Amino acid sequence: MNPVSAIYPGSFDPVTNGHMDLIERAAKLFKHLVVAVLHNTEKAPLFTLPERLEMLREVSSALPNVEVDSFEGLLTDYARRRQAKVLLRGIRAVSDYEYELQMAMMNRRLEPDLETVFLVPAVAYSFVSSRLVREIARLGGPVSGLVPPTVERRLRAKGAY
Ligand code: PNS
């Protein structure tokens, strides 16, 4: 297995334009980027794991150094298996910082050689989250411009939009 440079982990339920903005920025910075979707058996997501992977693969197909994968269990164990040295996370606002700092510190305790790198999305996406997208779609509001067109179509197909 080739060593990877950076891992961008998340739930991606669903991928938003904010995530895409970060993926595009990171693809320019790192030789190889793995977008790693959490397979969380405790939480019931709107989109199944195969659906989330398919959407991410579709929207990142033009980026040759981006790979989409899934993981279960501890992120630090997955990062070790993939020989990644960097964890990438996005920070939209100060409110994200506390949780992200806590995770970064905990991940450092679990794997001291793994560095968390934070990127900031374009200001146009600073308020976009998967949770709000799901809620707006569920209540029949418009999500165009917040998610890639394929995600919008799938939200509609699910009857969530
Ligand atoms: O998109 P999200 O939901 O904010 O992503 C959170 C994620 C997947 C990065 C986080 O929940 C995670 O890493 N989960 C895997 C389990 C784990 O390693 N937990 C300890 C984190 S310090």
Domains in the chain, start-ordered, CATH in brackets? 5-127 (3.40.50.620)
- Cβ burial 120-142 (10 Å sphere, 16+ → b, else e): ebeeebeebebeebbebbeeeee
pLDDT at 32: 96
pLDDT at 95: 92
pLDDT at 41: 80
pLDDT at 158: 84
Q: Atom of ligand 1 at shortest distance to CA of 71?
A: 15
Q: Atom of ligand 1 at shortest distance to CA of 9?
A: 9
pLDDT at 159: 76
Cα–Cα dist 107/45, whole Å: 24
pLDDT tens-digit map of 95-105 = 999 999 999 99
Nearest CA to ligand 1 atom 6: 10
Asked if residue 142 has pLDDT above 90, the reply is yes
CA 4 to the chain's CA centroid: 16
Alpha helices in the chain (DSSP H): 17-29, 49-59, 75-81, 94-110, 130-138, 149-157
Cα dihedral 122, 26, 110, 78 sign: positive
pLDDT at 29: 95
pLDDT tens-digit map of 33-91 = 999 999 988 889 999 999 999 999 999 999 999 999 999 999 999 999 999 999 999 99
pLDDT at 42: 80
Asked if residue 1 has pLDDT above 60, the reply is no
Q: Atom of ligand 1 at shortest distance to CA of 107?
A: 22
- To the query of whether residue 19 is one of the catalytic residues in this protein, the response is yes
**pTM for this structure?**
0.96
Ligand 1 centre from 10 Cα, in Å? 6
Q: What average pLDDT is seen over the chain?
A: 95
Cα–Cα dist 128/71, whole Å: 24
pLDDT tens-digit map of 146-156 = 999 999 999 99
* Residues lining ligand 1, Cβ inside 6 A: 9-11, 38, 74-75, 103, 106-107
Query: What are the structure tokens assigned to 56, written together?
Result: 């991410």
11 and 45 Cβ atoms separated by less than 8 Å: yes
- To the query of whether residue 43 is one of the catalytic residues in this protein, the response is yes
Q: Which residues pair with 35 in a beta bridge?
A: 8, 68
Asked if residue 6 has pLDDT above 90, the reply is yes
